[in-house]
Amino acid sequence: MKPGEAARVLILGGTAEARALAAALTERAIDVISSLAGRVSKPRLPVGEVHIGGFGGVEGLAGYIQSEHITHVIDATHPFATTMTRHGVEAAQIAGRPFLRVARPGWRERPDSATWHWVASYDEARQTAEALGRRPFITTGRQTLAHYEPWRDRRALVRVVEPLDADAPTAWTVVLDRGPYDVDGELSLMRQHAVDVLLTKDSGGAYTAAKLAAARELQIPVVVVARPATPTGATEVRSVDAAIDWLATATTG
């Protein structure tokens, strides 16, 4: 940042943390622009200026940072939005701007996580779940459904935020919902569809955690796809408050 230059923060968003950060910085009279991928038809919008849609890769984002006079880049995208995070790291480096990753804690810290089946990929999740149950509840996201193609004749409950691009297999029940969820609702849904194995990814946070408590109560096994690693070189914090502290330090030198 040049002496006397005011901070203008780009928040790579699409999460509750990104919205909370935009609100907190706006409250502190810091100039913020939040970006969303533009995939959700009715997104929850953060306060302040919003950029909707991709930037066109690393070069596009680096150009945007420069042309918009962005002073700091804070990546608060979902823990599984790994492409955007990698692009953010590289583009900030090209543009010579400080970069911070905010990633909420994962669910490994929950006491019941020791009983879950941790896997490294969606294919492994499917293979592991096959040995555990016959009626899966798939909550790993719309973009992962191709990995469950071998289950097209299996009665599966699938929950996604946005409608699917193509018709789902007729054996599947697709529920559109976006959370936050509560335990009673999850218990009722899981009982109604008689699911006997839950597939999820380690998103962390409270919005979608009720299914884990419900699975525990119903003694349904849980298969969890572990988080991908953060790109090397990225400074990472676990909370919005820590991101605000980082920015305070980064702007005062």
Least Cβ distance, residue 87 to ligand NAP (angstroms) = 5
Using the minimum distance from each CB to ligand NAP, give the nearer residue, 77 or 128. Answer: 77
Strand positions, DSSP E, the chain: 8-12, 31-36, 49-52, 72-75, 99-102, 117-119, 136-138, 156-160, 172-176, 197-201, 222-225, 235-237
Structure tokens at 225: 């796809």
8 Å CB contact between 81 and 89:
no
Structure tokens at 161: 């935020």
Using the minimum distance from each CB to ligand NAP, give the nearer residue, 81 or 158. Answer: 81
Residue closest to ligand NAP, measured at CB: 54
Least Cβ distance, residue 32 to ligand NAP (angstroms) = 13
Using the minimum distance from each CB to ligand NAP, give the nearer residue, 65 or 250. Answer: 65
- CA nearest 196: which of 173, 172, 223, 220? 220
Using the minimum distance from each CB to ligand NAP, give the nearer residue, 78 or 159. Answer: 78
Least Cβ distance, residue 37 to ligand NAP (angstroms) = 4
Least Cβ distance, residue 40 to ligand NAP (angstroms) = 7
Residues that bind ligand NAP (CB under 6 A): 12-15, 35-37, 39, 54-57, 60-61, 77-78, 80-84, 87, 141
CB within 8 Å of 160: residues ≥ 6 apart: 141, 142, 145, 174, 175, 176
